[in-house]
Amino acid sequence: MLELELPAGTGRVLLHSCCAPCSGAVIECMLANGIVPTVFFSNSNIVPADEYELRKAELKRYCSASGVPVVDDDYDHRAWLEAVRGLEREPERGRRCSACFLFRLRRAVSYAGQNGFDVLTTTLASSRWKDLEQVNAAGEAACAGSSVVWWPQNWRKGGLQPRRGEIIREQGFYNQLFCGCEFSKINEKI
Ligand code: SF4
């Protein structure tokens, strides 16, 4: 089992989560290490609405069975579009994705700071489609100047990548074929 070590001086973990497939192995690993995170579903990038609701429902189902609390952030796709304005034609892993990560993780930092969480990490980088360094840069930027510490754990290591696939099959998760936003569909790169 992967042994986790929280950043020094931290304890209450807020786990930003993008979807159930990316979250299963991360949550399982945290629980095995005695860490009970609070999951923060904040993904205003996702369209259409029924896709958003489906991803959220799958995550809630898994968290409920695991005894992990979930916070359902407000959905504001209009604000998300403002955050990525001018970057619509960027490729996957380009500047639009950095802005998208930052938008979601800033919301997580805001919630964490207001609710007594001192450390934040995300399931975003558990997918091999995502750039780990890009996600960590957004996490560091989101936490900068706040009381919240960014936890740059590599959630693909320590057997978590194959376990990710096993849990998807065990749970029969809905497993989307595109990242989430309308531009990821258009580009068909994800
Ligand atoms: S492709 Fe994915 S990470 Fe990039 S902007 Fe769209 S939803 Fe966000």
CA-proximal residue: ligand 1, atom 2 (nearest): 179
Which of 80, 184, 189 should be mutated for ligand 1, with most atoms under 8 A from CB? 184
- The structure's pTM equals 0.96
Tell me which CATH code domain 13-187 carries: 3.40.50.620
154 phi and psi, to 5 degrees? -85, 105
CA-proximal residue: ligand 1, atom 5 (nearest): 97
Q: Is the pLDDT of residue 186 over 90?
A: no
- Position 52 scores a pLDDT of 98
103 phi and psi, to 5 degrees? -60, -50
How would residue 187 be classed by pLDDT, with cut points 50, 70 and 90? Answer: low
Task: Indicate whether residue 44 lines ligand 1 (CB < 6 A).
Answer: no
76 Cβ partners below 8 Å, 6+ apart? 44
Q: Per-residue b/e over 151-167, b at no fewer than 16 CB within 10 Å?
A: bbbebbeeebeebbeeb
- Is 101 in contact with 130 (CB distance < 8 Å)? no
Structure tokens at 2: 């992967």
Q: pLDDT tens digit string along 21-43?
A: 999 999 999 999 999 999 999 99
Task: Indicate whether residue 47 lines ligand 1 (CB < 6 A).
Answer: no
For residue 104, give the nearest of 26, 164, 174, 180 by alpha carbon.
180
Helices and strands, number each (H, E), in the chain: 7, 5
Task: Indicate whether residue 130 lines ligand 1 (CB < 6 A).
Answer: no
- Position 189 scores a pLDDT of 42
